[in-house]
Structure 1
Amino acid sequence: MKPSSTATGTIIGLTLVFLIGPFIVIILAALTAGNNLAFPPDGLSLKWFIKVFTVESFRISFFISMFLAVFGTLTALIVGVPAAYAIARYDIPGAGAIQLAVSSPLIVPGIIVGLALLRYLVIPTGFTIMAALFLAHAALILPYAVRVVTSSLQNLRVDVEEAALILGCSRLGSFFRVVFPNIRGGILAAFILGFVTSFNQVPVSLFLSGPGVRTLPIDMLAYMETTYDPSVAALACLLAIMSVGIVFLAERFLGFSRYV
């Protein structure tokens, strides 16, 4: 018995309300003309979106988050691409255990990872807050880099690379001339996934942030502890638009869904 079109439409509508409803509430709360974060809005105004750019702590934490997202992801790719190549191309003893170890940051809750890094990395070694955040973000992004690039390598025929080796190309040369151009889309997809994940990271950054060095999500939490105006909602809208825009462009030009 096929479900009726009315029931199907109702289920789809309820699902969309559940998924999109919170975003609509935040957008309307950010557009309020009032002075308090509330829904429904008290009139409509863009003043809170303008105020976001005047808050100095938001500007500083934005650049910190951008630095961590860009360079942390690049570091993860520098380590992850060779690791993915080794996993995909060589019969490594204990490869399953290695993949599980690499994926552990995805399995273990972020709060536990953040607490462990604080207790056993930052406190004993005296690492600066920025260095600890950088290492933590790179470590968290590494599993995404390995998994996405491994998937791209597994979809690339091995005989193409072997043909380059037979024709006299070195292993390193065959990688950059044959393999890299064919997995470039997967590497870019891994970079975008890592960037978005790092930029929006909360649990680990919550433990490792400190005075004067906070990522943007943590700064937003701290701001709400003292100020209850709609500027945080406006900033949340801008971040959501940025994340959705990046993923949309990645899907449009790279076929992002093929890799993740």
Structure 2
Amino acid sequence: MSRLTIWLILGTTLTFLIGPFLIVIFAGASAGETLTFPPQGLSLKWYAKVFTVESFRDSFALSMFLAIFGTLTALLIGIPAAYALNRYNLPGAEAIRTIVAAPIIVPGIIVGLALLRYFVVPLDVTITMALFVTHTALVLPYAVRVVSSSLNNLRADMEEAAVILGCTRFQAFVKVVLPNIRGGILAAFILGFVTSFNEVPASLFLSGPGVRTLPIDMLSYMEITFDPSVAALSALLAFMSVAIVFVAERLLGFSRYV
């Protein structure tokens, strides 16, 4: 294969991957009053407007709450689950792993509809609580898988040595296991945060008046307004996600865990 062919294939791939991102960036920088591409002149006024829309601020706060605390809750459940699956010969371990991975395998629309029908309506829970449970459930498989990957790389005899030297199993877990898998835990948190923050299908069923995640609020905003502010907000969110993953890769070697 010639060098020219290689560069053409590489250029086509990069254009396919980065092209939509560049379109959104420039569409958000349009000086016009409607969302168009190519932009009608260049201006940052729509990027500035993003911060003045009250619904965007409220939904951003909700999305941050769900992403942070939903992921932390998933880790509180997922770390012990991953440890049990990794260190003990549990009956039906493969079936358990399949069940834990179900929120990834099953389309988010089905998850949202099921939770709405059999959790929200019968129990009459609040929208915020429903979203919190949903985002925790959707992030849990990532927590279990990433932490399991870290545990696979940790020698079990290190923990056994701590027990022989006088630690209880719990003390060995806290003093030996957790410090040695902290990179995997942080990687799981970042992956869960990005996944939760950008989640749409399940949140679409569970959001309600005045309580919407940012992606759902953006969809609702576009139903009544077609100005470039949504494109500007999309570009800012894309930059945020890329920056988080980039920093995680530089500090943790993020690609080792996912």
TM-score band, normalised by the shorter chain?
A: over 0.9
Name the counterpart of 1:119. Answer: 117
C-alpha displacement of 1:82:
0.2
Name the counterpart of 2:2. Answer: 4
Name the counterpart of 2:185. Answer: 187
C-alpha displacement of 1:65:
0.2
Separation of aligned partners in 2, 1:176 and 1:257: 25
Superposition CA RMSD, Å: 0.4
> What SS is found at the alignment partner of 2:194?
helix
Letter in 1 for 2:202: V
> What SS is found at the alignment partner of 2:181?
helix
C-alpha displacement of 1:201:
0.2
Letter in 2 for 1:168: G
Name the counterpart of 2:33. Answer: 35
Q: 1:92 aligns with which of 73, 90, 104?
A: 90
Separation of aligned partners in 1, 2:186 and 2:253: 11
Tell me the alpha carbon deviations over residues 142-168 of structure 1, each in whole angstroms, 9 at most, x when there is no partner: 000000001100110011111001111
C-alpha displacement of 1:28:
0.7
Name the counterpart of 2:66. Answer: 68
C-alpha displacement of 1:219:
0.1
Separation of aligned partners in 2, 1:101 and 1:32: 47
> What SS is found at the alignment partner of 1:35?
coil
Taking the TM superposition and a 5 Å limit, the aligned residue runs for 1:38-49 are 38-49=36-47
C-alpha displacement of 1:54:
0.4
1:207 aligns with 2:205: yes
> Structure 2: any 5+ residue segments left out of the alignment?
none
Percent identity over paired residues: 71
C-alpha displacement of 1:224:
0.1
Name the counterpart of 2:138. Answer: 140
Letter in 2 for 1:202: V
Name the counterpart of 2:256. Answer: 258
Separation of aligned partners in 2, 1:25 and 1:239: 14
Q: 1:24 aligns with which of 16, 22, 25?
A: 22
Separation of aligned partners in 1, 2:108 and 2:175: 38
C-alpha displacement of 1:121:
0.6
Q: 1:78 aligns with which of 76, 79, 82?
A: 76
User: Runs ≥4 in structure 1, deviation > 2 angstroms?
Assistant: none
Separation of aligned partners in 2, 1:224 and 1:114: 22
C-alpha displacement of 1:110:
0.5
